């Protein structure tokens, strides 16, 4: 099963980065491949979490797909987990974590694992998805710079 993980130092606070990633409705404005995102349901979860059910539309050239995920927002622990519900995947899970970095800024930990139901779709979209996932953290950091300002680089 394909997977990707990155732990990246960014100049913004853990809370600011958490808030940015938790604002899923804004993803179509800046996230590679994301053409639409609609929150179908919001409900309180356990321990101060919030559960979203969201449908994302992704596309590349003539290929368009939609899938639904269950997103758990955990503001107390600065964690976000998205789990697959329905769509073209057999499996999809991604996790975000945000921790204060020594010297300022934060370490953003992003992990995703996925598998398409169809081998053909996996061959068509797999390489493109892999490239897009590698650009996700860049897209979120650029978005943070736009919203919060591009402060001096974190060292």
What's the pLDDT tens digit per position in 91-141?
999 999 999 999 889 999 999 998 888 777 666 666 666 677 777 778 998
CATH of the domain at 73: 3.30.530.20
Domain total of the chain: 1
Does 154 reside within a domain? no
Does 153 reside within a domain? no
Domain, as residue range, for 58: 3-148
Does 25 reside within a domain? yes
Does 118 reside within a domain? yes
Cα separation, 20 vs 34, in Å, equals: 16
pTM of the complete model: 0.88
Q: Looking at per-residue confidence, does 149 or 134 come out higher?
A: 149
Does 155 reside within a domain? no
Helix and strand element counts for the chain (H, E) = 2, 7
* Angle between helices 119-148 and 14-22 in degrees, nearest 10: 130
Does 86 reside within a domain? yes
Sign of CA dihedral 136, 142, 146, 148: positive
pLDDT digits (tens, 9 = 90+) for 60-73: 777 788 999 999 99
Does 108 reside within a domain? yes
């Amino acid at each position: 099963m394909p997977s990707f993980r990155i732990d990246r130092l960014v100049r913004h606070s853990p809370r600011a980065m958490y808030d940015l990633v938790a604002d899923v409705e804004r993803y179509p404005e800046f996230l590679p491949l994301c053409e639409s995102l609609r929150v179908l349901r919001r409900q309180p979860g356990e321990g101060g979490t919030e559960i979203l059910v969201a449908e994302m539309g992704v596309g590349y050239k003539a290929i368009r797909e939609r899938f639904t995920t269950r997103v758990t927002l955990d503001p107390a622990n600065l964690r976000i987990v998205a789990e697959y519900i329905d769509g073209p995947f057999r499996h999809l899970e991604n996790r975000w974590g945000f921790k204060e970095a020594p010297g300022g800024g934060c370490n953003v930990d992003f992990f995703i694992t996925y598998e398409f139901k169809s081998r053909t779709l996996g061959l068509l979209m797999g390489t493109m998805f892999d490239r897009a996932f590698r650009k996700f953290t860049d897209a979120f950091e650029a978005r943070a710079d736009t919203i919060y300002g591009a402060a001096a680089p974190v060292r």
